[in-house]
């Protein structure tokens, strides 16, 4: 299976560590149909860049929830490893009690389906995927192992998707909530550049 923006996001069922630290053995992406989902992958538990990203998603969780987005993290570690990492204090490299599900992709099938698995190493690249309420993949970005992702930019992409859905307009480069968008035709383009040509 190959993943592609504008197509259905690959479904999965796996064990996840839930916010209350319980194990949910039949955690399914399909259970979030009707809700926006941000699914992100990190390489391994107990590593270095990864906790900064996981904690930043948790720090911004209220912003995602205000936009009706479910954040889901995933790596190829076991659910036992995820829980052990949650039980480790942040000041010594743990992630603490993060409040979104952490999926155990122990057989590596989810990372493989999303095109982020490094087969020989058995770990995932830093993939981030925005899935809409119909289960369609709307945005994907994949970073190599040393390159931490920008969580604020994922929030910006959620805003852009929701603006487009609500208003039927398209969002230009560097668009942020509150800025002008444009109608998806030549008149809309001319109108937009009539106001903003000097910005480009």
pLDDT digits (tens, 9 = 90+) for 64-79: 999 999 999 999 999 9
Over residues 76-101, the mean pLDDT reads: 97
End-to-end CA distance of the chain: 39
Q: How much is the pTM?
A: 0.95
Alpha helices in the chain (DSSP H): 49-59, 61-66, 79-86, 109-113, 151-167, 186-196
Give the start-to-end residue ranges of the domains of the chain: 13-147
Using the predicted structure, report yes or no on whether residue 199 has a pLDDT greater than 90: no
Using the predicted structure, report yes or no on whether residue 127 has a pLDDT greater than 90: yes
* Backbone φ/ψ region at 24: left (φ over 0), alpha (ψ -120 to 50), beta: beta
Write out the E strands in the chain.
Answer: 13-17, 23-28, 36-41, 69-75, 102-104, 117-118, 123-124, 126-131, 137-143
Q: 13-147, what's its fold? A: Glutaredoxin (3.40.30)
pLDDT tens string 26-47: 999 999 999 999 999 999 999 9
Over residues 104-110, the mean pLDDT reads: 97
Provide the pLDDT for residue 18. 98
Q: Which residues are catalytic?
A: 50
How does the average pLDDT of the chain come out, rounded? 96
Over residues 13-19, the mean pLDDT reads: 98
Using the predicted structure, report yes or no on whether residue 82 has a pLDDT greater than 70: yes
Quote the tokens at residue 198: 């000097």
∠112-113-114 over CA atoms, to 5°? 90
Using the predicted structure, report yes or no on whether residue 147 has a pLDDT greater than 70: yes
Over residues 129-158, the mean pLDDT reads: 97
3-state secondary structure of 142: strand
């Amino acid at each position: 299976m190959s993943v592609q923006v504008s197509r259905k996001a690959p479904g999965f069922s796996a064990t996840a560590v839930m916010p209350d630290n319980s194990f949910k053995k039949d955690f399914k992406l399909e259970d979030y149909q009707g809700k926006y989902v941000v699914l992100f992958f990190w390489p391994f538990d107990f590593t270095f860049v990864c906790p900064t990203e996981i904690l930043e998603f948790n720090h911004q969780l209220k912003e995602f929830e205000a936009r009706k987005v479910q954040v889901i993290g995933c790596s190829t570690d076991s659910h036992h490893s995820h829980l052990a990492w949650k039980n480790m204090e942040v000041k010594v490299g743990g992630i603490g009690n993060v409040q979104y599900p952490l999926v155990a992709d122990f057989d590596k099938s989810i990372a493989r389906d999303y095109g982020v698995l490094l087969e020989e190493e058995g770990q995932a690249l830093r993939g981030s995927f925005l899935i809409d309420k119909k289960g369609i993949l709307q945005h994907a970005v994949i970073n190599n192992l040393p390159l931490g992702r920008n969580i604020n930019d994922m929030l910006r992409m959620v805003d852009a998707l929701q603006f487009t859905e609500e208003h039927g307009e398209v969002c230009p480069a560097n668009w942020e909530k509150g800025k002008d968008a444009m109608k998806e035709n030549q008149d809309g383009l001319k109108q937009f550049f009539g106001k903003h040509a000097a910005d480009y």
